[in-house]
């Protein structure tokens, strides 16, 4: 080796060692936790009503508890090793369901407290669910509660004359009548109640067809701010609202500059259906919660064990506000673990909460969720004993890793797909969407890139849901893809504009994107650029529909096709594709109210067939869990939704 090259190699080696030492030092500034795992990117938030991703959910499922919680039940599947999970008593020690499946009565434990010792009562759930649904909370999972009476109308701001409403006055702390809205959104200003007598609206503005989701929202919000509400205010007797006892009639608007305003019109933040007063959710005493559904949802117990429906601490949120209440020094929780510390781009440390009602069952005292995005770094830390569990091992080594005894792979209910911005030409043409899908060689991706047993996907809902006949989708052919592209006006790819594939920072996402980029180039003469972004910015860009094609995935919230199909409802906050199909929406609505289980599944399959035909997103493969953990780790196992309750983990020394 020439002297210059040898010197350059030594310098490079020294730099690599230095960088490795700096990286390692980030995790050596404190005593290690008893158990540590790779959590990927930094959690964007620890607020259950604002979280959306797996890095957040792994933590939230273990620092909060719902009415119910999903725990192991029965023996693992003898073929796949997947451990069945069912909703079991959590903060609710028991519950009953009415014969028509429309009313759930939960009986809460009387020994449950927040991590600061304050008792948890049924009123905490009423307040938390109201906060989750409130428009300003902007919870992307608020649709999970739309099966509760009046919940959807409250979340969407839908009101009509005759409705019993709540009015939030413009008097949040620090506000004057001419000021901008106070930064603190919930808890809210003074609330008065009454009956909506009239609702006047100025002419509806025209919304450009090519407007983004964000632009549409602003145009609509500006228009709605000019609405004029006439309310017959009701007298209040203690906590009871006497709806028929009218004290005065007042007009309200969000924007006093509206041409509809009168001389005595008052400014308001919101006029909403009075959700917490109309009986959808009742708290007749501290330890009873009654939920009245509008549809007989067979999966409601699973929703009650899903983190967006977990209670949040009203006293903590009111004291510190959003988002300060989630800071480690402020946050109050109600799970088997609480937050010990949080270091950005480093870790979240979980500490056993001795006040949790079942603390005696928790063996591991401290757990570190480490922000390690690099797959290779995570595996190296595992090999050197710095990690006990790798959640996302490197795909480049998968062929060897799957042979190891500490590798645990199993299918679960999750799908990997590419979202398409259907408002951006040429992706607004279904022929183009189908051509792009048919030009992807999924077998090559699962064989040469992911390499862990993933299954090619041509529809949305993964296999394995009891009672559901899976929609197969149309794999098509390369010849058909070329024909469709020609029909759309791009013969041989000529004239097709270059677009961008967006993905969040990850070696595996990049590897998949590079293969698809090459396949589209080779098969259709269509060129795509790649763009990676860190998790938070990636989520924002997708939700604002500022993308062409975006990597996406969905893990089942509960074992039912609805958890996947609901994503693409025209009004779903999770629908980032701008796709809108009235028949699809109608079928899901019919399925929601259908009590016959077989008929319900048929309606859902009909809806998925529409989705698979119009392809607002391109399904690529169905996931398998790819976990590596030490032999001494017990109670960690593959599950249908890849969720892992930390209170079941045991650390047993190996012989």
The pLDDT value given to residue 485:
97
The reply to whether 187 falls in a domain is: yes
pLDDT at 503 over 80: yes
305 shares its domain with 430 = no
In this structure, of 22-31, 212-221, 308-317, 604-613, the range with the lowest mean pLDDT score is: 22-31
Q: Is the pLDDT of residue 18 over 50?
A: no
User: Same domain, yes or no, for 535 and 415?
Assistant: yes
Task: Check whether the bond before 407 is cis (ω within 30° of 0).
Answer: no
Residue 92 lies in a domain: no
* Assigned token pair, 499: 């677009």
Residues 298 and 437 in one domain: no
Report which of 56, 132, 47 is spatially closest to residue 535, judged by C-alpha positions.
56
* Mean of all residue pLDDT scores within the chain: 92
Task: Give the whole-angstrom CA distance, residue 173 versus residue 218.
Answer: 25
Give kind and range of the element (H or E) at residue 11: helix 3-26
pLDDT band at 30 (very low <50, low <70, confident <90, very high): confident
- CA dist., res. 469 & res. 439, Å (int): 26
User: Given this model, what pLDDT does residue 10 score?
Assistant: 42
First CA to last CA distance, the chain: 48
User: Is this structure's pTM higher than 0.75?
Assistant: yes
Which pLDDT value is given to residue 24? 47
Express as a percent the part of the chain with pLDDT over 70: 95
Both 120 and 236 in one domain: the answer is: yes
- Asked if residue 415 and residue 287 are part of one domain, the reply reads no
Domain-embedded: residue 66: no
pLDDT value for 189: 87
Q: Is 464 a member of any domain? A: yes
Tell me what the mean pLDDT of segment 492-498 comes to: 96
> Which of these, 454, 429, 471, 442, lies nearest to 565 by C-alpha position?
471
Across residues 158-163, what is the average pLDDT? 97
The mean-pLDDT minimum among 36-50, 178-192, 288-302 falls in 178-192
Does residue 421 share a domain with residue 296?
Answer: no
Give the mean pLDDT of 167-187.
Answer: 86
Same-domain status, 268 and 128: yes
pLDDT score of 183: 78
Instruction: Tally Cβ neighbours within 10 Å of residue 382.
Output: 22
Cβ within 8 Å of residue 448, ≥6 positions away: 515
Q: Quick one: 595 and 474 in the same domain? A: yes
Does residue 192 register a pLDDT over 80? Answer: yes
- Considering its fold, how many domains does the chain have in total? 2
User: In terms of pLDDT, which residue wins out, 10 or 414?
Assistant: 414
pLDDT of residue 154: 97
Last residue of a domain, one of 309, 336, 362: 309
pLDDT in tens, 398-448: 999 999 999 999 999 999 999 999 999 999 999 999 999 999 999 999 999
> Which helix H or strand E contains 105, and what residues bound it?
strand 103-108
DSSP 113: B
Please indicate, yes or no, if residue 228 is contained in any of the structural domains. Answer: yes
* pLDDT over threshold 70, residue 8: no
Q: Which of 496, 532, 540 is CA-nearest to residue 514? A: 532
- Give the whole-angstrom CA distance, residue 536 versus residue 388: 26
In a domain? residue 6:
no
HSE-up of residue 37 (Cα within 13 Å, Cβ side): 21
Measured CA to CA, the distance from residue 462 to residue 471 in angstroms comes to 9
Q: Kindly report, residue by residue over 532-575, the tens digit of the pLDDT.
A: 999 889 988 998 899 999 999 999 999 999 999 999 999 888 89
* Domain extent at residue 109: 99-206+220-309
Question: Residue 23 pLDDT > 60, yes or no?
Answer: no
Same domain, 621 and 490: yes
- Residues 299, 428, single domain; the answer is no
Q: Residues 252, 266: contact at Cβ < 8 Å?
A: yes
User: Cα(416)–Cα(407) distance, rounded to whole angstroms?
Assistant: 21
| Helices 507-524 & 375-383 angle (0-180, nearest 10) | 140
Give domain status of residue 330, yes or no: no
Residues 440 and 300 grouped into a single domain: no
Cis peptide upstream of residue 426 (ω within 30 degrees of 0): yes
CATH of the domain at 192: 3.90.76.10
Q: Where does a domain end: 277, 309, 341? A: 309
Domain end, chosen from 309, 334, 349, is at: 309
In tens, the pLDDT along 240-277 reads: 999 999 999 999 999 999 999 999 999 999 999 999 99
| DSSP SS3 for 239 | coil
**For residue 478, what is the domain's CATH number?**
3.10.105.10
Res 507: pLDDT:
85
In a domain, 433, yes or no: yes
Mean pLDDT of 329-347: 96
Whether residues 282 and 133 share a domain: the answer is: yes
More confident position, 525 or 188: 525
Q: How confident is the model at residue 655 (pLDDT cuts 50, 70, 90)?
A: low
Local structure of 87: helix, strand or coil: strand
Strand partners, 485: none
pLDDT band of residue 453 (cuts 50, 70, 90) is very high
């Amino acid at each position: 080796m020439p002297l210059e090259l040898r010197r350059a190699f030594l310098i490079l080696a020294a730099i690599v060692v230095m960088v490795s030492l700096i990286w390692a030092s980030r995790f050596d500034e404190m005593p290690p936790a008893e158990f540590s795992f790779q959590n990927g990117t930094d959690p964007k938030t620890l607020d259950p009503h604002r979280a959306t991703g797996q890095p957040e959910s792994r933590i939230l499922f273990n620092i909060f508890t719902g009415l119910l919680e999903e725990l192991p039940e029965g023996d693992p599947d003898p073929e796949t090793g997947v451990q069945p999970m069912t909703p079991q008593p959590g903060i609710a020690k028991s519950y009953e369901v009415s014969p028509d499946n429309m009313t759930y009565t939960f009986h809460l434990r009387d020994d449950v407290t927040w991590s600061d010792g304050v008792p948890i009562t049924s009123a905490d759930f009423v307040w938390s669910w109201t906060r989750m649904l409130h428009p300003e909370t902007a919870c992307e999972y608020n649709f999970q509660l739309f099966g509760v009476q009046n919940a959807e109308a409250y979340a969407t701001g839908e009101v009509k004359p005759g409705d019993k409403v709540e009015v939030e006055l413009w008097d949040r702390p620090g506000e004057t009548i001419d000021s901008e809205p106070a930064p603190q959104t919930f808890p809210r200003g003074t609330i008065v109640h009454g009956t909506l007598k009239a609702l006047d609206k100025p002419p509806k503005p025209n919304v450009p067809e090519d407007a983004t989701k964000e632009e549409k929202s602003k145009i609509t919000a500006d228009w709605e701010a000019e609405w004029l509400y006439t309310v017959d205010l009701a007298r209040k007797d203690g906590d009871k609202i006497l709806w028929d006892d009218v004290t005065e009639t007042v007009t309200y608007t969000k924007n006093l500059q509206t041409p509809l305003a009168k001389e005595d019109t008052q400014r308001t933040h919101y006029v909403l259906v009075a959700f917490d007063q109309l009986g959808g959710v009742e708290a007749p005493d501290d330890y009873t919660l009654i939920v009245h559904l509008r549809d007989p949802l067979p999966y409601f117990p699973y929703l009650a064990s899903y983190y967006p429906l977990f209670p949040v601490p009203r006293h903590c949120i009111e004291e510190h506000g959003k988002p300060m209440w989630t800071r480690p020094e402020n946050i109050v929780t109600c799970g088997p673990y609480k937050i010990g510390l949080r270091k950005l781009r480093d870790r979240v440390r979980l500490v056993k909460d001795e006040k949790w009602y079942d603390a005696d069952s928790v063996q591991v005292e401290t757990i570190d969720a480490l922000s390690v995005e690099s797959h290779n770094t995570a595996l190296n830390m595992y090999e050197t004993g710095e990690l006990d569990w790798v959640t996302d091992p490197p795909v480049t080594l998968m062929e060897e890793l799957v042979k190891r005894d500490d590798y645990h792979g199993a299918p679960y209910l999750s799908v990997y797909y590419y979202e398409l911005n259907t408002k951006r030409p040429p992706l607004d043409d279904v022929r183009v969407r189908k051509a792009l899908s048919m030009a992807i060689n999924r077998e090559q991706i699962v064989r040469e890139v992911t390499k862990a047993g993933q299954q090619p996907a041509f529809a949305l809902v993964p296999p394995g849901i009891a009672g559901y006949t899976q929609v197969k989708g149309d794999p098509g052919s390369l010849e058909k893809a070329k024909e469709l592209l020609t029909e759309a006006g791009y013969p041989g790819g000529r004239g097709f504009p270059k677009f961008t594939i967006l993905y969040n920072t990850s070696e595996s996402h990049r590897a998949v994107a590079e293969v698809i980029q090459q396949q589209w180039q080779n098969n259709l003469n269509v060129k795509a650029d790649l763009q990676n972004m860190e998790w938070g910015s990636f989520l924002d860009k997708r939700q604002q529909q500022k993308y062409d094609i975006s990597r996406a995935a969905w893990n089942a919230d509960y074992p039912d096709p609805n958890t996947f199909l609901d994503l693409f409802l025209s009004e779903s906050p999770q629908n980032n594709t701008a796709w809108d199909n009235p028949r699809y929406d109608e079928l899901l609505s019919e399925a929601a109210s259908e009590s016959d289980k077989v008929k319900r599944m048929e309606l859902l399959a009909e809806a998925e067939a529409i989705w698979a035909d119009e392809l607002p997103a391109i399904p690529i493969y169905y996931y398998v869990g790819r976990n590596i953990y030490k032999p001494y780790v017990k109670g960690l196992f593959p599950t249908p939704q890849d969720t892992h309750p930390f209170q079941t983990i045991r650390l047993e020394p190996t012989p």
